[in-house]
Amino acid sequence: MHSTKKLTLTRACANLKNLLILVDHYDLSRARKNPDVETPLKALEEQVAVYFTELTHPDALPTFPFQNYDVYYACLDNLYHNPLTHVDIGNQEQVNSGYLAVIFRALHHLQAFSL
Task: Report the number of distinct structural domains present in the chain.
Answer: 1
Q: What is the model's pTM? A: 0.89
Question: Cα(61)–Cα(52) distance, rounded to whole angstroms?
Answer: 15
Q: What is the pLDDT along the chain (115 residues), one digit of tens a residue?
A: 455 558 999 999 999 999 999 999 998 887 788 778 889 999 999 999 999 999 999 999 999 999 899 999 999 999 999 999 888 777 888 888 999 999 999 999 998 876 5
pLDDT value of residue 1? 42
Domain of residue 58, residue span: 4-111
Q: Which of 39, 59, 54, 47 is nearest to 19 (CA)?
A: 47
Question: Cα(56)–Cα(82) distance, rounded to whole angstroms?
Answer: 19
